[in-house]
A and B are shown apart, each in its own frame.
Chain A
Amino acid sequence: MATEYKLRMGDGKRLFMTKEQIVADLKEGMADAADLGDIPDLSEDEIDKLVEIITMPSRMVGVEQGMEVPVTHDIGTIRIDGDQGNSGVGIPASRLVGAMMHERAFGADTMELGHIDYSYKPAKPVIAQEMQTMEVCQQNMIVPLLYGAMPNMGLYYTPDGPFENPGDLMKAFKIDEARESMEHSAKHLTRDIVWIMQRMMASGSDGVNFDTIGAAGDGDMYASLHAIESLRKQFPDIYIEAGMAGELLLGMHGELEYDGTVLAGLWPHQQAALVAKAGANVFGPVVNTNTSKSSAWNLGRAVTFIKQAVKDSTIPCHVNMGMGVGGIPMLETPTVDAVSRASKAMVEIAGVDGI
């Protein structure tokens, strides 16, 4: 009987596959990315290397010596204190303690201060507390500490916000009205992000992390790019990290453009150029995990997309790796076998600058 290796399904379930099956799935995942993104396949050598990483006998793997990359944590400040609903471990601790533990105990290279209600809009009414916490953290820490939140443009639509919900308008076939609603929301979102960051910068923040850009579609991306542009102008030295929500920028609006490029339908390698143009320092590309495919299929696909994003990006790429992204199974606490293998593949094959 052929040797079988332990893998995972995209939903985390244990899976046994032969080498031939692994290669077939890797190639199928790769072909899917190449087809959708109109990008090249991986080379035979790269596929061999992926097989090698997947079939390594150790439970956990690491990058080759000398290939270490910086790791950044989003919302890590509340990963200690937060409960499972917040991807945390539920140990009572302040945000300062959370941030310092990541810096001093876990080796995080940069950190982010985030509010438990992790979007820009809800940070507005608690801005004084956010400013004070940023100041205290900065006084106690050495690694760069950014302020981070999700643009989350959906919060500007009814019933959460002032503008009529485009989903409802679309259902009534009111396309123009839906688009107007998105355009208004985007303006407000840009304004809010800039307002919040002006205050956080005044409190000593080293920069800003845009977490999950595009979650509400192309309007969300439009607003974020304009916020990045404005912040870069106001604070020439601000460190800006622009992380995406998903691999494909959905065209909820469909016609919004930035710098002459239509935003709807952009894949990671195409998003990179716009993020750099707007003035970000780091791009955080995302590839989504398909839960009904094997980790080999997902990794083959994710590495193909990210390799091209790294190639086309003029700024460093810190790939998003976590539950349900980057070839990692969709689990609240993803398994170390899958996380470490996917991370090693991203660094050694896709060539990412950070995670």
Chain B
Amino acid sequence: MSNEEMFKQLSDAIVSCKKDAVLAAVEKARDEGIPPAEIIEKGLAAGMNEVGVLFERGKLFLPHVMMAAGAMEAGVALLEEDMPKDAASKKLGIIVNGTVEGDVHDIGKSIVSTMLQSAGFEVHDIGRDVPLQDFIDKVKETNADMVGLSALMTTTLQGQKDVIEMLKEQGMRDGVKVMVGGAPATEAWANKIGADCYAENASEAVTKAKELLL
């Protein structure tokens, strides 16, 4: 089976919203030697996007999206076993990552955390629907070099700007880089709110983090 066919199978498994199908497809892709990052981004995440399209068109509904999300989480969890937890003996840098207050979407954010971690960063994933002050507190506590802010809705995007303002108010902005992401975020938005970078997906997040921190 070609990689393209395998990606299609992974994507279809997500669209079926069935956890068993997703786990089976992930196992198969793993056996074929496809790197975990590709399985996630080109297979599972692509399927999740398709789920989003079908949801908008009234072909799939909220319970289906929730089931697909659960299946995706399980698939990613399976792959995490393969990903080196401590790729480098010396940490490349410390990153706090989370989804902003009011937003429960955390699949993409968690993938970003996993990929940053396996690239050698020390990642503190503080979860989803995180009160904005918690980002500041965690940066202080861990002495982080970078904070990642995820938002998946136009209504919660503003939270990214607010955290940057709070960092400024508390005199911490110069000591920490800010990376933003999530479907409604863009390069232009990142520039507008004064973030240090924007990344479209998890592998780009790794590249950008390396650029900024190394």
List A residues at the B interface (Cβ < 8 Å).
36, 170, 173, 175, 178-179, 248, 250-255, 264-265
With a cutoff of 8 Å between Cβ atoms, the chain B residues found around residue A173 in the complex are: 66, 70
Q: How far is the CA of A179 from the CA of B61 in the complex (A)?
A: 13
With a cutoff of 8 Å between Cβ atoms, the chain A residues found around residue B57 in the complex are: 36
Q: Is the CB of B63 within 8 A of A253?
A: yes
Does B126 sit within 8 A of A, measured CB to CB?
A: no
Q: Is the CB of B61 within 8 A of A170?
A: no
| B179 to A: closest C-beta gap in Å | 28
What are 6 A-to-B residue pairs whose CB atoms are below 8 Å?
Answer: A173-B66, A175-B67, A251-B60, A252-B62, A255-B63, A264-B61
Q: Is the CB of B66 within 8 A of A251?
A: no
| A223 to B: closest C-beta gap in Å | 18
With a cutoff of 8 Å between Cβ atoms, the chain B residues found around residue A36 in the complex are: 57-58
Does B59 sit within 8 A of A, measured CB to CB?
A: yes
Chain B, residues 25-64, CB within 8 Å of chain A (1/0): the string is 0000000000000000000000000000000011111111
CB-CB nearest in chain B for A174: B66
Q: Is the CB of A170 within 8 A of B62?
A: yes
Number of A-B contacts (CB under 8 A): 35
| Nearest 5 interchain pairs by C-beta | A251-B61, A254-B63, A248-B58, A254-B61, A175-B63
Q: Known pairs A179-B63, A251-B63, A254-B64; list 13 more (Cβ under 8 Å).
A: A36-B57, A170-B63, A173-B66, A173-B70, A175-B63, A175-B67, A250-B58, A252-B61, A252-B62, A254-B60, A254-B61, A264-B61, A265-B59
With a cutoff of 8 Å between Cβ atoms, the chain A residues found around residue B60 in the complex are: 251, 254, 265
CB-CB nearest in chain B for A255: B63
Q: Is the CB of A178 within 8 A of B58?
A: no
Q: Is the CB of A170 within 8 A of B66?
A: yes
Q: How far is the CA of A36 from the CA of B58 in the complex (A)?
A: 8
Chain B: residues with Cβ within 8 Å of the partner, total of 11
Q: Is the CB of A250 within 8 A of B61?
A: yes
Q: How far is the CA of A264 from the CA of B60 in the complex (A)?
A: 8
Q: Is the CB of B63 within 8 A of A178?
A: yes
CB-CB nearest in chain A for B57: A36
Q: How far is the CA of A253 from the CA of B57 in the complex (A)?
A: 17
Q: How far is the CA of A255 from the CA of B61 in the complex (A)?
A: 10
With a cutoff of 8 Å between Cβ atoms, the chain B residues found around residue A250 in the complex are: 58, 61
Q: How far is the CA of A253 from the CA of B58 in the complex (A)?
A: 13
CB-CB nearest in chain B for A218: B61
With a cutoff of 8 Å between Cβ atoms, the chain B residues found around residue A251 in the complex are: 60-64
With a cutoff of 8 Å between Cβ atoms, the chain A residues found around residue B58 in the complex are: 36, 248, 250, 265
Q: How far is the CA of A253 from the CA of B66 in the complex (A)?
A: 12
With a cutoff of 8 Å between Cβ atoms, the chain B residues found around residue A255 in the complex are: 63
Q: How far is the CA of A178 from the CA of B58 in the complex (A)?
A: 20
With a cutoff of 8 Å between Cβ atoms, the chain B residues found around residue A179 in the complex are: 63
With a cutoff of 8 Å between Cβ atoms, the chain B residues found around residue A252 in the complex are: 61-63
Q: How far is the CA of A251 from the CA of B67 in the complex (A)?
A: 13
| B51 to A: closest C-beta gap in Å | 13
| B92 to A: closest C-beta gap in Å | 34
Q: How far is the CA of A251 from the CA of B59 in the complex (A)?
A: 9
CB-CB nearest in chain B for A264: B61
| A304 to B: closest C-beta gap in Å | 16
| A250 to B: closest C-beta gap in Å | 6
| A153 to B: closest C-beta gap in Å | 16
With a cutoff of 8 Å between Cβ atoms, the chain B residues found around residue A175 in the complex are: 63, 66-67
With a cutoff of 8 Å between Cβ atoms, the chain A residues found around residue B64 in the complex are: 251, 254
| B93 to A: closest C-beta gap in Å | 33
CB-CB nearest in chain A for B61: A251
With a cutoff of 8 Å between Cβ atoms, the chain A residues found around residue B63 in the complex are: 170, 175, 178-179, 251-255
CB-CB nearest in chain A for B59: A265
Chain B, residues 137-157, CB within 8 Å of chain A (1/0): the string is 000000000000000000000
| A37 to B: closest C-beta gap in Å | 10
Q: How far is the CA of A265 from the CA of B63 in the complex (A)?
A: 13
Q: How far is the CA of A254 from the CA of B68 in the complex (A)?
A: 13
| A266 to B: closest C-beta gap in Å | 9
